[in-house]
Each structure stands twice: as C-alpha cells, then as structure tokens.
A and B are shown apart, each in its own frame.
Chain A
Amino acid sequence: MASFIQLLVSGLATGAIYALIAVGFTLLWQTSQTINFAQGEFVMLPAFFILESMYLGVPFWLSALIGIALSIVILGLLFKFLIVDPMLKHGVLPLVISTIALSLFLKESAKNFYSSQAQPFPALVPSTDLHFLGAVVSTQSLVVLAVAIATVVALHLLLHKTRLGRSMQATAQNPTLARILGIPVRRMVLYTFLINAVLVAVASILISPIYLAKFTNGETLGLAAFLAAIIGGFNQVRGAILGGFILGILDNLSAAYISSQYRGAFPLLILIAVILLRPQGLLGRIEERTV
C-alpha cells in the first residue's frame, strides 16, 4: 500500500507534465492542423536556455523567466512564421516532414552548442521527503504536481472564462464562421502557438530536475504527448489532460507491478485498444470533416 501511494504520486506528477505537453500539442492541432513532431524537442530545449542564462550568472528565477520568454520567441513566433506558415497551404504531410526535420535540428543544436552529456538542473524546491501513511513522498513530486495543475487550471480559465479564450475555441471549431463573427482568426492561431511555447517551457522546468537536461529527452516526451493526446481525444483539451494522467500513472504502476522491460508497451496497447473501441479518444468528439 505504501509503495502504491508512492508510485501513484510520482505517476500523477509525471502525468501532469505529460498533460501540459499534450495540451499544447492538441491546441496546435485544433487551430492550425499542425501535427508537431518536434513537440518533445520543444520541451527539451528551454532547459538549455535556462542553463545557458544561469551560466552567465543570472539567478535561477530570472533565468526561468528568460527561458520562458526565449521559448515564446523561438518556439512560438519563429516556429509559426518560419516553418508553419509557409507550409500550411500545402497540406498536412509536408509540414509533418518539416517538423520531423526540425526535431532532428533542435536535438543536434543542443548537442553541438551545449553538451552531449546530461546536465544537472536545479529543482524548484530542495528535495525533502514527506512521510504520509507510511509512504515516502518527495516534496519535489508534490510541487511538480501543484505547478502543473495550476498551469492547466489557468489555461482552462483562459479558454473558458474569458472572451479571448472563447474566441480561440471558436477559431478551433470553425474558422470560417469565427471569421464571419469578426474574430481575428490569424491572431487567435498565433496565440495558440505562444501558449504552446509557454506550456512546453513550464514542462521543461518541471521535468529537467528529474530527468536531467539532455538533448535526447525529447524522444520519449514527444511520444508520450502524442499518445496522451490520442488516448484522451485529439480534439479536446480535457482529453489531453486525462490522457496525460492515465499515461503517467500507467507508466509507473506497470513498471512496478507487471514488467519493467515492457513498461513502454502498456501505453501502446492502451492506444491500440482506444483506437479500436473509441477512435475519437476517451473524451473526444467525432470529427466531421468536410469533403
């Protein structure tokens, strides 16, 4: 029981991070039909912005802000204007290839310009253990969970309670109608790219103390976000959140109780089951595509 609680808490913590990444992923898909295969690398990179800034003597909190700002500029603005915009009119596939190439580019950049070695990354709080019902739970997991949930709640409020958020939703659901209603569709699409950049930067700050900052981090994270988005429902923010948590918990529990060698296989089996039984994802709507 004690170990179960421990696994559950760390599963929730990883799940919350997966959820952040997956939400950004689905946002891009909904508003601009961008399947971002570099999403994992987007999470890997901000950690290096922050490390570089700290190397120049800037304190951690300020470096974190600089990291988020750089992420908005590079992974939000530049990504949209240099890569997505020129390709969008050619359909989904060329853009998929381009983001695959981008993921290779970012990975190699981090390796060449920083280091191929895993870099220690400062945690938000000093790691101490809390004892709870006989289980040992690290404060770090709890802080990760709290920050991730706060971010998701903030995003939820933004999307559902503000005029801006509703405009963004309208853009995602029906761009033509949104344009007729006077919503600046192009600007709304741009905002989702900026939000995605913030989400990946936050995820990067949360996950790097646990996994260390390494140029290959994006491979597993990108796959996890992809799986979470499909399991939960590709066209729903709620779905991506649910998918992220399912994936995080499943990953931890199956590794402990079933087989650590095949821990990577369980999410995939769930994925295949979801596709067969509920192809729109657990919380997704059936997508109606126009011919």
Chain B
Amino acid sequence: MSRLGVIAVVGAAIFAIAAPFFLKPFGIYLISMWTVLTVAAIGLNLTLGYAGQVSMAQGAFIGIGAYTVALLTQAGWPYPVAFVCAGSLCFVIGWGLGYPALRVQHHYLAFVTLAFSTLVFLVLRNEEWLTHGVYGISGIARPTLFGWSTGKPRDFYFFSLGTLTVLAAATWWMLRSPWGRAFVALRENPLRAQSLGLDTRRYTLMAFAIGSGLGGLSGALYAPLVQFIEPNSFVLDLSFNLLLMVIVGGSGYFFGPFVGALIAVLLPEWARITEGYYLMVYAAMIMGMMAFCPYGVLGMVERAIKAVTMRGDPPTPILHAEGTSP
C-alpha cells in the first residue's frame, strides 16, 4: 500500500473511533449498520471483484446468518458459538449452491443465486414453526462478552467495528498468503492463472463460498443490531443494494466495499431533506455515478492519482470483472 493509502486508512480509522462520541443514537445506529453491511460487502467483493461472479444472494445469506443467530441465542446458545455457526452454515450452503452453477457456464451463478434468494425468502416466510413467518423474531439480545455488555448503542458499535476490523484483517491476510494470491491472479488475468496451473474453477467456487460465509457473519451482527428480524428485510432489494455497494465503491479494490457501504447507508439519509422524493434522488445519483465513474469511487480516485503523478501517460486500463472473463 502506498504512503497515501496508509494515511487515508489511519485517518478513516481515527474517524470511525471518534465518530460515535459526536453522534445521536440514530447516527450511531447508521454507522453500526455501515459496519455490518461492510462485512457482507467485503464478502461480495471477493465473489464479484476477485472471482468475477455476480451473486444476487448476498442479502439472503445475511438473512440466513441473522436467523441462525437469533434462533440459536434464543435457544440458549452462547453468542460466539452462534456467530461461528452462522458463518459456517453460509459457507457450506454457498459451496453447495456454487458447485453445480460453476460447473456449467460462468454467468449462470447470477441466475442460480437470484432464484436461491427468492427461495430463501419463501422458506423464511412460510416455515412458521421455525422462523415465526411474517411475524418475525423480536427481542434478540445483544451479546455480553467477557463481562462487557454491548446492550448500549455505542458499545455495540465498537463491538461490530471490532468484528469488522478482525474480519477485514483476516481477508487482507488471506489475499496476501500464498494460497490467497490465487484470488488476485483470478482478478488480474483468469486465462493466465489457468495456464499457470491454477484450478480457476475451484478458486472461483472458494471465493463464492467464503463470500457467502462473510454474508452469514454479517447477518450474525445484523440480528443483534436491529433486534427484530423478519423475512421482508432479506428480499432481493438487499442483495441488489449490496451489489450496488461493491460496484459503487469500486469492485476488486480491497477498500471498495467500505466506501460503497458508506455511500449506500448515508446517501439515502442525506437525500431525506427532499422528503418523499429521497429514494428517487438516491436512484438518480447512483445512475449518474455509474455513468461518470463506472469503476467506482476508488477506481476514479486511482485514475485521478495516476493522472497527477504520471502526467502525460494515459492511465492504464483497470481490468474489469466482466471484461476479463475468457
């Protein structure tokens, strides 16, 4: 990472730690939501940005994770165990879902995940014995860890910020390990990765399964944050929104999901000054953003920096998830 990058990350970290001391409870709720959605977006970025697969089920994985944690903790299981269960369950489901889809053509994972997402919603709504159907599950307790209760908004924010940091660091480390460098190879040039003997299909599947697992962990944070979950929270809209976060932030950039989730959480709230029209304004902003910086905010920043530092040289084209598929 360049020196500029380090400064930006340290600055953002200081800001993230200081922010809750200046915000009202709703503001703290929003930045907590940002941490939760960032976890899921990091997972989706692995699937989309590195392996180049479009998943439209990340919202459903958040749902599975949230229900797993809600049901297990209400059955008396300790939160950390439920947390691990949520992630593992989604990892296994992701693996099972991706296996057949990736065996055929590469863009079919998108369609399978779209169908899966709707199926998950139907199961959550209809299987009342398990999920309480449309009534949802309320009164989900926030965890107490080593005597530290995260019941208050600020405490829970620090808990989820900490979890985000740990998971992000683990992903960062994974992408730099000898094993994980294959994901970067997959992003940069899938054809060359394959000719160097990488089993690209296996790595693509792995990226999807790990991405789904992170979706589950995000759900494990989501449930205690909102304390009330119902099937409607996890419909396709959420999956679309996550896709939007990854692309708007800059897919394939490690910090893209952080930026994208921030925009997706805050932009609608700022647009609220236009009253009933805020979602229209938000949608129009996204369309405009896609027209002017299709590689996301970080893609645009990178090009701007390159343009300044290497005056005269045209910026090298950034390989894009879709464009690189053989």
Residue of B nearest to A219 (CB): B236
Nearest-CB distance from A178 to chain B (Å)?
Answer: 22
Given A94-B294, A271-B115, A279-B108, do A105 and B191 touch, yes or no (CB 8 Å)? no
A150 contacts B by Cβ under 8 Å: no
B276 contacts A by Cβ under 8 Å: yes
Q: How large is the interface on B (under 10, 10 to 19, 20 to 34, 35 or more residues)?
A: 35 or more
A101 contacts B by Cβ under 8 Å: yes
B322 touches A93 (CB 8 A): yes
B283 touches A97 (CB 8 A): no
Q: A106-144 vs B: 1/0 string, CB under 8 Å?
A: 001100100000000000000000000000000000000
A213 contacts B by Cβ under 8 Å: no
B322 touches A92 (CB 8 A): yes
B287 touches A83 (CB 8 A): yes
A108, B323: Cα distance in complex, Å: 32
Residues in B whose Cβ lies below 8 Å from that of A291 = 191, 326
A/B pair count, beta carbons within 8 Å: 105
Residue of A nearest to B283 (CB): A105
Residues in B whose Cβ lies below 8 Å from that of A96 = 54, 243
Nearest-CB distance from B315 to chain A (Å)?
Answer: 14
- Count residues on chain A whose CB falls below 8 Å from chain B CBs: 38
Q: Counting chain A CB atoms within 10 Å of each CB, which of B126, B283, B326 scores highest? A: B283
A223 contacts B by Cβ under 8 Å: yes
Nearest-CB distance from B97 to chain A (Å)?
Answer: 9
Task: In the complex, identify which listed stretch (A2-10, A165-173, A261-269) lies at the interface while the others stay far away.
Answer: A261-269
B244 touches A97 (CB 8 A): yes
B14 contacts A by Cβ under 8 Å: no
Given A91-B320, A262-B122, A279-B108, do A109 and B294 touch, yes or no (CB 8 Å)? no
A87 touches B291 (CB 8 A): yes
B279 contacts A by Cβ under 8 Å: yes
B243 touches A268 (CB 8 A): no
A101 touches B286 (CB 8 A): yes
Residue of A nearest to B115 (CB): A268
Give 22 CB contacts A-B under 8 Å: A90-B295, A92-B322, A93-B48, A93-B251, A97-B247, A97-B248, A98-B291, A100-B240, A101-B290, A102-B287, A104-B282, A108-B279, A109-B280, A112-B277, A219-B236, A223-B114, A223-B236, A261-B122, A261-B126, A265-B119, A275-B112, A276-B100
Residues on B close to A: CB < 8 A? 48, 54, 100-101, 104-105, 108, 111-112, 114-116, 118-119, 122, 126, 191, 236, 240, 243-244, 247-248, 251, 276-277, 279-280, 282-284, 286-287, 290-291, 294-295, 320-323, 326
Q: What 3 A-B pairs are tightest by C-beta distance, nearest first?
A: A105-B283, A90-B294, A94-B294
